[in-house]
Amino acid sequence: MTSVSPEGRICAVVVTFNRVNLLRKCLHALLVQTRPLDHILIVNNKSTDNTAQMLASEFPQLEVMHMAENTGGSGGFAAGMKEAHARGFDWLWIMDDDVEAYPTALASLLDYRDISDYLHMRKDLADGNWHFEGLWDFHVLTVRMLPTEVSFANGKEWMVVNYSNFEGPLIHRRVIDKIGLPDARYFMYGDDVIYGLQASFHTNPIYINRTGFRKDFGWSKGMDRMSYYFTFRNNFLTQEHLRAIGLYINNTSFWISNVRNLIWCTHHILTTPGQRKWNHATAVWQGLRDGIRRNYHPYGRPPWMC
């Protein structure tokens, strides 16, 4: 896979862990892009299923970075982006293994390369419910998504955002030159959102009114043990990054937001079918404890994986 295209050389970085069937669909979609990729780098996060065997037998032409440990999505993206950047690729197209790109996705993203160094597109979810227009709420240290995409409804072709997700953005190497790699300590959840904010001080990340992806999992799958843990622990990491940027974070508001999250999660665990599990409740308290102590464990893992 080589290219002499004027837009430069493009490497897809796909992070995977124990989702061999989804990964297979993701890779097939990448191989049929109307604008062919120059390289595909798969970061296998020490999968324990037959991912390695499937890649060797079905995709021998693709490069696989086999991680010695499961470093989570955050560590996987950091490692893959570091490698692709070191090899001199101009653009990095990064995604999880459950994202399936439509054939014209890459070509459509590149249509906007002169506007921004950080490009997102719309995607279809299994449950059909996904919106990406929102606003940072620094009282709760996250992005509040709007119920509808107002800018697109008003006829805009694209909008500027100051956050991100790692489900298919196309990122120029200049972004990495300026802000470095995603913070691997997140392990999962939140690393992409803060990375988009950091990038927004150097370029205008944009969200394009074209649909380029399909994602097999929607928001309806519900919370799990990891979700509860990282909801709390990674809030403290985000606070750290915002302070490093120079943003004033009111401690009272920060702790009020944590208490509200605690009340909501407790109520959700007690009243939602399938959520009333002891390890869900302990994950909440472990996340709060580790966040307060700034204890991010090896590779950012939750304590039960250490």
100, 19 Cβ separation under 8 angstroms: no
pLDDT per position as a tens digit, 7-24: 899 999 999 999 999 999
pLDDT at 1: 44
pLDDT per position as a tens digit, 125-139: 877 767 889 998 887
pLDDT at 129: 64
pLDDT at 249: 85
In the block, tokens 């109307």 appear at 34
Cα-Cα-Cα-Cα dihedral sign, residues 96, 102, 106, 108: negative
Q: Return the domain boundaries, the chain.
A: 10-220, 223-305
Those residues of the chain that have pLDDT short of 50 are 1-4
pLDDT at 2: 45
10-220: CATH topology? Spore Coat Polysaccharide Biosynthesis Protein SpsA; Chain A (3.90.550)
Query: Hey, which bits of the chain come out as E strands?
Result: 10-16, 39-44, 63-66, 91-96, 99-101, 118-125, 134-137, 142-145, 158-160, 170-172, 206-215
Q: What is the pTM of this model?
A: 0.93
pLDDT at 137: 86
